[in-house]
Every structure is written in structure tokens, then in C-alpha cells.
Amino acid sequence: MAMYLHPLIASVPPDERAALIRSSALHSYRRNEIVLQADTHTDRIYCVATGLLRAVDRDVTTDFIRRGDFFLGPSLGENSYQATSTLVAALPSSVYHLPVAAVRRLCALYPEVTMGLLEIAMKRVAMVRGQLRRIASLSSESLVSRVLHELTQLAPAATGGYDKRITQAVIASYSGLSREVVNKTMRDMESRGLVRRDDQGVHVPPTFASTDFGSLPPEARELSDELCAWDGDRPETP
């Protein structure tokens, strides 16, 4: 993803885009490498060019930052901020480091940039709230199913499904379950043909989707209802 193609700055004049690119730097990170440590003061905003990052707070993954998304501080009122979460590469990633000062300047000149950043921040808050609701209300299998489906959107594999390099430990830290419970749940789903693996990815059926990710086609919705009814009769996974 070239910075000048990012929708957020697509309407900014070419000279302003060029100035932002000159003041920014592209860094590459290995899987599990720390991009930004919690409590660190930084004057950068982080934009994912390729790969996937995860925000971690006390060993819990609270959010994923996918290609084209930004990680920024709680406020753009200053030219620097203190990170409240640790930013880790969930997959090998390339990340643009944009100066906060340069982005603040664009916000002051072009309201559409401000609105774009606000929309990104609102979507992230909604995503975190939705995940908290799922953790509080769903059975282990339903919760893992939703997370696996979400990963097909966040870290798609070339052959479909999600990238197999996303570990069960990451799934556990995002779902609020232990790694043992995630492992048992996924093995059970695999034995029933609901999860399939190949050399590139982990494949899950569209029935794992829910209204959190959009509507299902009629045939998938019927099967999803059957699975949910069956799951409701199962004892809760400890």
C-alpha cells in the first residue's frame, strides 16, 4: 500500500501528500516483534501497510490493526502521546511511522482528514465493545467461532480462511479464554468437520459469521440456526 493511495489522504493536494511521505518512515517487523511498548512516549502514528498488528493490554489482545488502519494516541491535542497498549506484530508486517505533528497539521487544514481519523477511532471502539459483549454472553464454542470468522477478515489466507500463523495463544488472548480451552474447542470443531487446515490457512464455514460481521445468505443462516440450537443444548465448556 503506497501512502499516497490511502483513502484518508486521497483528497489532499499532491504537494501535501508528498510532504507527509517525506516525513514518514516505513519499518518492517517480524511476527511477534514489538512495534511500540506500552507507557512509551512517541510522536508517531502507526499505519499498517502490510500484515497485521495487535494491541495488547496486560497480556490481553484488545484490538487488531489491519492493513490500511491506524494506531494513534487517545488525543491529537499534542504532538506526542504516551502509549496505553503494547503494539505487537501478529504477522510479519510493514508499518508507516507518521509524525503526529504532520497529521495534526493536515487535520487543521483539511476537515475530511479529521473526519476520517474519527471514523477509524469510532469503528475501533465499536469493535472492542462488541468483543466484550461476546466474551460476556457467548459459550466457548460460539465465541471461538466468531473470533475465527473475524480472523478471515483481518488476516485472510491466499487459499481462503485465515493465516495459519495466527496462533491459538493469540486467539485465546483475544477471546478471553485459556489456550487449553481454545485448543480443545478447535480440535472438537475440526473433528466435526467445522474447521479445516491446509498449508496456507485455517478454513471455517460462513455459518461462523454473525450480525457482528454482516448478514448471512439464507442457506447459511439456516445452518447457523441449527448449529446455535445444537450448541445451546451442550453443557458449557469449563
pLDDT for 131-186, tens place per residue? 777 777 788 999 999 999 999 999 999 888 999 999 999 999 999 999 999 999 99
CA-to-CA distance for 37 and 30, rounded, in angstroms?
A: 15
User: How many CB atoms are closer than 10 A to CB 46?
Assistant: 21
Residue 56's DSSP bridge partners are 61, 86
Mean pLDDT value of segment 213-219 = 40
For residue 3, the model assigns a pLDDT of 53
CA 189 to chain centroid, in Å, comes to 23
Per the CB < 8 A criterion, the answer to whether 86 and 36 are in contact is yes
Residue 171: closest CA among 64, 28, 70: 64
Find where cell 503494547 sits: 86
Condensed to tens digits (0 to 9), the pLDDT of residues 14-61 reads 899 888 888 999 999 999 999 999 999 999 999 999 999 999 998 999
Strands 196-197 and 201-203: antiparallel
Mean pLDDT value of segment 60-75 = 90
CA 147 to chain centroid, in Å, comes to 10
Q: Which residue has the higher pLDDT, 200 or 233?
A: 200
Classified as helix, coil or strand, 3 is: helix
- State pTM to two decimals: 0.79
Helix (H) or strand (E) holding 89: strand 86-89
Residue 2: band (very low, low, confident or very high) from pLDDT cuts 50, 70, 90? low
CA quadruple 170, 173, 179, 185: dihedral sign: negative
For residue 212, the model assigns a pLDDT of 46
